[in-house]
Structures are given as C-alpha cells and as structure tokens.
A and B are shown apart, each in its own frame.
Chain A
C-alpha cells in the first residue's frame, strides 16, 4: 500500500444548496488501473473536475497529493503540467484538422515560431504506433471512426508525458472490437508504468481490467474493492446501495397479430450513394411483442430504423412496409407518425430533445395538431406523464437540459407514447443511464407491450436484449443474419450471427 501516485482526502465540494462531494477519499496506486463506479450524479465527474483543476484549488475542501507532493491546481494547465490528463466522454478533437495536428494541438512542434511539419507528422506517427492506430498522421480526424478518434486522444495524452491518465466512459460509444482493443491498450500502458483511472458503466469491462474499484454513491466514497472481490453484483450492490437480484423486471408477453412487416428493405448511404447501408432486410413485429435488433456498430441498425421512420435517413430506398397488412409508404416523419410509428433516437441530446425548452413543450412536440396549442391540456398531459413515468423534476415547466440522462429519456419516451403509436422503435433506450433508471425504463417498455404495442429495441448491450426481448433479429453489414427467440438466444449465439460476414 506504500506507493500511491494519487491521494485525494477529505474532498468536499459544495454547489449552492447542495453538497456534490462529501469527504471523498481516493487513493490510486502507481501503475494500476483504477476504476471508479457510481450511478449518474453520484459525483464521479465532479471528483475528476476537482482533480484536474477545473474547480481550482480553494473552490473545494480537502487535499490532493500527487506523486508524493501536495498540489494546488489552479486550472487544467497546472494539472496537465503535473502529468494528469483527462479524456472526456465527449471527445475534444478538432474534426477538420489532421490526426497529427490534433495530437500536438496546443503543444505544437515548432521551430522559431514556424511549425515543423516533418517532425510533427513523424512524432505523431510514432505515438500512433504506440496506441496501435494504423493510419496516416495527415488524415483528417472527421474521416476516422469513434474508436480511432479515442486512440487519437490517448496519443495526444501520451505526447504530454502523462503519468496519470483519466478516461471518462471511454467505451460508451465504441463497439465490442474497438472496446477490446482499447482495454488491451490500457493494459499495455499500465505495463509501461502509466497509471489509469477509468470511469465506466460497463461493469464487465471494469471487472476484466481494473486492479481496484472505488465506488461512489451520493457524493461519498462507499468502498474500494480489491481485484479478488470483484463481481458485477458486488459492484451494483455498492452503487445502488441495495442488492439487485434481478436487473430485468419479470414479464409474461401476450403476443397478438402482426402489426408491422418490412420486406426486402434496402437503403443507400447519402454520403456514398452506391453503398448499401441496409441490404434486403425483412422483419415482422407483432402486437404485445418486444423484439430486439442486435448488431455491431456500423451494421445499419439505426439506419434501418430511421429509414423506415418516414425516410429520415438514406437515399434510394426500396422495399415495402405493411402496417396491419396494408401497404404504407410514409415519405416524411409526419406521415410515419400518422401511421402509428414512433422512433426514439439513440442520441437524445442531439436528435431527441429541445434542451432549452421545458418538459411539457418537449413531451407535446410530436403531437401538436391543428392551429392552436391548448396550454391547459398540455399541462395536464405533461403532468400525467411526470407522475406515471416518475420523471424527477420540480415540475413540468423545468428545463429539460438540466435533467439527468434517465429523466431525459423518460421525457423522450413520454413524447412518443403521447403520439399513441402502434409501433415504437427504441434506439439504445438505456444508453448513458444508471442502473436504477434502467430498471424503470425496462418496466415502461414491458407496460407498452402489455398495452398491445409492438416494441423494437435496438441495443449494443446484449444482456439487455436477452433480458428484455421475446425475439431478437441480428444485423450484420446491413443484412438480417438471424432470428432467435429470446429464450434460445445467448450472448455467444448472437455474437456469432452479428459477426457473420457477407456471403460473397
């Protein structure tokens, strides 16, 4: 227990009216991978902001000791200078610049005020090799996928002689391959002597990679678990303060008539019109049924859903849609809504909500018809959803941007339920939501099915699909590669179908 690279003790951070952190203690040993787990709002990010100097010294109580020295950071520059680098969930890269330019942004390789491009690109190339990024340093960052962009961030951190690397939800947006690669990379960095702190909701990853796990709940340190004590249930129990025997509410489906049938659905990419993003996909949904759509990132899940939803994505779309046995051709989102379709997006902040407006305005946004807005009725409807969906907010006039992820998602669901759809497509309905709120969302999905609606759930988390769905389709490279009943499916069988290549 001797060599701690970081020791934060007695950290208390108060915002007006609320204590975000209460006497938090965090010790990180040199050369380990240390995970921090906690529900959203538990105080993880606030703690990291304290550490990195976003909240300057004096803005909080308690002391920080780094590398054997007490430190008083006044800003991010101070902490970076000491060797602490944070990689945030939302990547901070400049998309129009090259990989090399991004790596050395703010830290340019220059001689007499002029940039030395040869040295920049050469050194960037060396750093890219270290993180296993095989690409050209002059490539524009926006051309890279999210996984590779994450690696660019790490290369950037390495260029600053990082001693302690902090990653906030590094794999949230990555597919399984990229995640695995990233975790391998972190193990490699650990072997080189770089200490990592990783904040993650993905408990299986935490268990596979962490040497120690500190659990934070309600702004307090609950416990630090050693490697041999790690199990998912143990961590969850610490995070929620209770044992979760079952992460999925029990559900007995009553499956009825077919309500939606999609046949031979083909969609081309707007960016590359010759490329098929969805290729001859066919699927059916029945009343009262929860159907899963599994696929790796880039398999075309979201593209399939959005193209069906009034051609909100894609060009040169062919195929047919039957609603209750009758062929429909929704050409706009408005028509799709009229036909009883609803689509809740995977990125609720960018595509789902008007964050500067209040709860009631967002809930009614897809249901307004005619000339006038009946404000009394709007209030009554929104208040009804706030109670039935348990949206935690002072009132329906609260601004949506200030709600937590789980509550925002409940607003999105309310908005679509209000359109009285027969078919709901939920794209990553629990992304970025903590364990307790996930259970609530699952319960809502079950209730929707019980009301006779068909629900199509798109998710990257296979346990979620297995726990929730009556039937699961797998999608690979735009093609439906399999259909399994919820009972017979396993993570292995799904993964096998999801990675099934194009027979060519």
Chain B
C-alpha cells in the first residue's frame, strides 16, 4: 500500500519526464522501424526502396502480416496461438481441393474455406475458453493435428494450379482504371493508385484532426500543435512515397488493398468498440473483468474463431501466390506472427498491444529479411539478426516498464 504512493507523487512532480518516457515506449517501435529502413537503404544503395522491391516486400509478407493482426488480439487477451502455420496449410489445401480437384466456382470455394477456418478456430477456442486448457497446449496440439490433416488431404503432394482470380488476389495488381499520368522525372505512374493514396492521406488527416478536436473540446491534454502536424506530415509523406513508388511499378497490389482494409478494420475494433475494450480488460486483469460483467469465455472463444478466419485468408493468399497448395505450407509462420506481435509492443503478460504495432513489428522483420538478402547475407545470419531483434525489442519493453515503475 504504502509503496504505491511515493512513485505517484514522483510522477506528479515531474510530468515532463514522464511524458517523454511514455512516448519513448509507445513510439520507440516506429523510430526503430525508420532507422532499420534507413540502414538498409544505405546498405543496399537504395535498392530497398525501389518500386519493385517495395511491392515485393508487401506481397511476400502479406500473409504473415494478416496472421499478426489476429495474433496480437489473442496476445492482448493473454493467450497465444501456435497453430496458425498449420491452419494456413490446411485451409490452403482445402481451397485447392475444392477449386482444383472438385472444380467448385472460386467465390464458393473461398467462402467454404473461410468458414472452415472459423470452425477450426471454434474448435480451439472451445478447448481454451470453455474447457480451460491453456492456449499454449491446445494450439500446440492443433499445430500437429492440422499439419497431419493437411498431409492427409493433399496425399503428400502439391495441388495446383489455382484459378486466375485467386492468383490475382494473391499476386496481382489493380488495373490502371484511369490510365497513367506523367510525374516528370519519375516517369509515368498509375493515376488510380495516386488518387487512392491521396484519399488515404486526407482520411488520416481528417480523423486525426477530429480526434484532437474532440479531446480539446473536453479539456484533455493533447500534444503540441507542432508535434501533431509534424507527425501528420511524416505520415502523409510516407504514404505518398509508398503510393508513388507502387504506382510507378505496377499499380496497387490487391493484397495491399486487403491488408489496408484489415488493418483499418481491426484497429477500429481494438480501439473503439466495446468488444475491443473487453479484450484489453481480460488481458489486463481477468478476474476484474469477470467481476465487471465481461463474458470472458465468449470473448476468448471469438478471438480464436477470428484467428481461424484470418489464418484461412492467409492460407488462400499463400497458396494462390505459389499457385499450389503444399504439405509444408505455412511452416513456422506462427513464430513470425508471434515475433511480429512482440516486436510491435505487445506485453508478455497481456493487456497491452496495438494492431498497427504488430504490423510494424512484422514489417521490421520483413525489411530485415529483404534487406539482408539484397546484400547477399546467408540465411543463418538473417535468422541470427531476427532473433536478436526480437530479444532486444522485448528487453526494451521490460526495461521501460521497470523504469516507469508500473509494476503490478
């Protein structure tokens, strides 16, 4: 009892210091991402940021990023899912069997696959939420079960090729609906992509401004206008740069459109809805959540269902990109997704994390992967660096937490 008040006074007496350390903790990940991008741009003589390479990074890592969205929600609630790699494989295999072997129309086959993913999630969610087995065990079992199921379905061989529509979704680009436009020395670029990019920037600015005005209206503390505008400008420049580069290459990849929609949707879910609040409440203090009327079991169950559906989406995209569903698909994806979540600022005890953070964590690993392969590093060295980054990110989180004295 007596110990808690001393630090509280300390914070009250030194608000400036506190704000700085809080900022460092929540925005450290984005600064780290910027530094890593900068480092590899220099090391690769700018090859990292070439239009085609940016497009490659997004398309090659989209499935892990999609998995990271579901994973961060599960981790915020204080659980984990080790089975997502195997679920990617089994849903990819199912999609292949439905479309290739059975010749079902592709929209129907996709729908069935997504439902199957949801059922797989429901199966695991049942054991975790209602039966009370730790998620670590349930999903470790799931990792083996669904890998075995994949091999059974595929008969130990790859199935392909997929219909064109599915391949386009996984690997293709939006059409140049409005034709090209000259950008002077940068050459021609897809007008539609540019318009989408500008709309995204406008939307971001408008929503940030509205949030800020709302806060001010209630006399809440907001960041200084200079910092606010600065952040906005940096965000806008980044989006613009990304879109211009992509527009110069081959328009927007479909998976980027999908990913952007998912990130937006799940950020709103986590940050603005009652369901999202309950995820954080469960991870922060499960007992208190129960005694506040939160239906903990149901929330956890639906988080696993959601993870299953997202795994199915990732499974379809992965199979579509390779144009084949294989028995080893999705191997170790769960580790990449979990690493993305923790690098992106999730807390090991649960209750903390953001969708955008997990995406950034995933992109950090993606850039390291891509950058190191561009400069010709052997894969063992890539692994070494990724391991070190994961450890450093979590160590930093633990360190800032200890320093701010937010002990439980």
Genuine A/B complex: yes
Assembly CA distance A42 to B406 (angstroms):
20
Question: A399 vs B8: C-alpha distance in the bound complex, in angstroms?
Answer: 10
Q: Is B293 an interface residue (CB 8 A)?
A: yes
CA distance A404 to B405 in the complex (A): 14
CB-based contact B17/A41 at 8 Å: no
The verdict on A352 contacting B1 (CB below 8 Å), with A375-B214, A376-B217, A394-B15 known, is: no
- CB atoms of B7 and A169 under 8 A apart: no
**C-beta contact mask, A356-385 vs B, less than 8 Å → 1, else 0?**
110001000110111111011001100100
| Other-chain contact of B221, A15, A368, A397 (Cβ < 8 Å) | A397
A354-B351, A361-B280, A402-B405 known, 12 other contacts, Cβ within 8 Å = A17-B13, A18-B6, A40-B2, A345-B291, A356-B351, A356-B408, A365-B289, A368-B277, A401-B4, A402-B406, A405-B4, A432-B1
Q: 0/1 per residue, A173-208, Cβ < 8 Å to B? A: 000000000000000000000000001000000000
The proximity string for B residues 272-290 relative to A, scoring 1 for CB distances below 8 Å and 0 otherwise, is 1111111011001101111
Cβ-closest chain A residue relative to B7 = A402
Name the residue in B5, B8, B9 with the highest tally of chain A Cβ atoms < 10 Å from its Cβ: B5
Contact of A41 among B6, B14, B274, B285 (CB under 8 A): B6
Query: Which residue among A393, A397, A404, A405 has the maximum number of chain B CB atoms within 10 Å of its CB?
Result: A404
Q: Judge whether A45 is part of the interface by a CB distance below 8 angstroms.
A: yes
Question: Given the interface contacts A352-B291, A356-B352, A395-B221, does A372 sit within 8 Å of B272 by beta carbon?
Answer: yes
By a CB distance below 8 angstroms, the chain B residues around A17 are 9-10, 13-14, 17
Cross-chain contact of A353 among B217, B218, B285, B405 (Cβ < 8 A): B285
- Does chain B have a CB within 8 A of A343? yes
**Is A352 within 8 A of B288, CB to CB?**
yes
Of B276, B288, B293, which one neighbours A354 at CB under 8 angstroms?
Answer: B288
Chain B positions 283-337 with a Cβ under 8 Å from a chain A Cβ: 284-285, 287-295
Closest partner residue, chain A, to B287 (CB atom): A351
Interface of chain B residues 259 through 276 with chain A (CB within 8 A): 272-276
Q: Does B23 reach chain A (CB closer than 8 Å)?
A: no
Contact mask B189-221 → A, CB, 8 Å, 1/0? 000000000000000000000000011011111
Let me know if A368 and B289 touch, CB within 8 A: no
Within the complex, the shortest CB–CB distance from B214 to chain A, in Å, comes to 5
Check A403–B4 contact: CB distance below 8 A.
yes
Interchain nearest-CB distance for A46 vs B (Å): 6
Return chain B residues, CB-CB under 8 Å to A365: 277, 281, 288-289, 292, 294
Interface residues of A (CB under 8 A from B): 15-18, 20, 40-46, 89, 168-169, 199, 309-310, 312, 332-334, 336-337, 343, 345, 349-357, 361, 365-366, 368-373, 375-376, 379-380, 383, 393-395, 397-399, 401-405, 415, 432
> What's the Cα separation between A375 and B212 when bound, in Å?
12
Q: Are A312 and B290 in contact (CB under 8 A)?
A: yes
Are A376 and B214 CB-contacts (below 8 A) given A17-B13, A332-B295, A432-B1? yes
Tell me whether B5 and A404 are in contact (CB under 8 A): yes
Are A353 and B288 CB-contacts (below 8 A) given A17-B14, A394-B12? yes
Q: Which chain B residues lie closer than 8 Å to A395 at the CB level? A: 220-221
Q: Which of A332, A356, A405 contacts B284 (CB 8 A)?
A: A356
Return the CB mask of B211-233 against A: 1 if under 8 Å, else 0: 00011011111000000000000
CB contacts under 8 Å to A, within B1-57, are 1-15, 17
Nearest A residue to B12 via CB reads: A394
List 15 A–B pairs whose Cβ atoms lie within 8 Å, in order of A's numbering: A333-B291, A343-B291, A353-B285, A354-B289, A355-B285, A356-B408, A357-B281, A373-B274, A376-B218, A379-B218, A379-B220, A383-B218, A383-B219, A402-B11, A405-B4
What residue in chain A is nearest B351 (Cβ atoms)?
A: A356
Q: Is the CB of A43 within 8 A of B6?
A: yes
**In chain A, what residue has the closest Cβ to B14?**
A17
Distance A437 CA – B228 CA, assembled complex (angstroms): 39
- Which residues of chain A come closer than 8 Å to B406, judged between CB atoms? 356, 399, 401-402
Task: Known contacts A379-B218, A404-B8, A415-B292; decide if A372 and B273 are in contact (CB<8 Å).
Answer: yes
CA–CA, A40 and B6, complex, Å: 9
Are B5 and A40 neighbours in the complex by a CB distance under 8 Å? yes
User: In the docked arrangement, what's the CA distance between A343 and B292, Å?
Assistant: 9
Whether A334 touches B3, Cβ cut-off 8 Å, given contacts A352-B288, A369-B274, is: no
- Find out whether the CB atom of B220 lies under 8 angstroms from the CB atom of A44: no
Point out the residues of chain B lying under 8 angstroms from A366, CB to CB.
292-293
Q: Is the CB of B2 within 8 A of A45?
A: yes
Max chain B Cβ within 10 angstroms of own Cβ: one of A168, A369, A370, A375: A375
A369 to B275, CA, bound (A): 9
CA distance A309 to B17 in the complex (A): 43
CB distance A368 to B220 under 8 Å?
no
A333 and B290 within 8 A (CB): yes
Chain A hits for B273, CB < 8 A: 371-373
Per-residue CB contact flags for chain B residues 231-275 toward chain A (1 = under 8 Å, else 0) read 000000000000000000000000000000000000000001111
Q: Which of A20, A355, A397 contacts B6 (CB 8 A)?
A: A20
Q: Is the CB of A41 within 8 A of B218?
A: no
Cβ of B272: which chain A residues have Cβ within 8 Å of it? Answer: 372-373, 375
B300 CB, nearest partner CB in chain A, Å: 15
The listed residue with most B CB atoms (<10 A of its CB), out of A365, A372, A403, A415, is A365
Please give, as numbers and ranges, the residues of chain A lying within 8 Å of B221 by CB-CB distance.
Answer: 395, 397
Q: What are the residues of chain A within 8 A of B15 when measuring CB–CB?
A: 394
A354 contacts B284, CB within 8 Å? yes
Alpha-carbon distance A42/B219, docked complex (angstroms): 32
**Chain B residues whose CB sits within 8 angstroms of the CB of A372 once the complex forms:** 272-274
> Which chain B residues border A43 with CB–CB below 8 Å?
2, 6
| Least CB separation from B271: chain A residue | A373
In Å, the complex CA distance between A349 and B294 comes to 17
Q: Given the complex of chains A and B, what is the CA–CA distance between A42 and B2 in angstroms?
A: 8
Q: Which residues of B contact A405 (CB under 8 A)?
A: 1, 4
* Contact with A351, one of B11, B291, B293 (Cβ below 8 angstroms): B291
> What residue in chain B is nearest A368 (Cβ atoms)?
B274
Question: In the complex, what distance in Å separates the CA atom of A370 from the CA atom of B275?
Answer: 9
A contact residues around B14 at 8 Å (CB): 16-17
Known: A371-B273, A395-B221, A404-B8. A355 touches B1 (CB 8 A): no
Cβ contact within 8 Å between B218 and A312: no
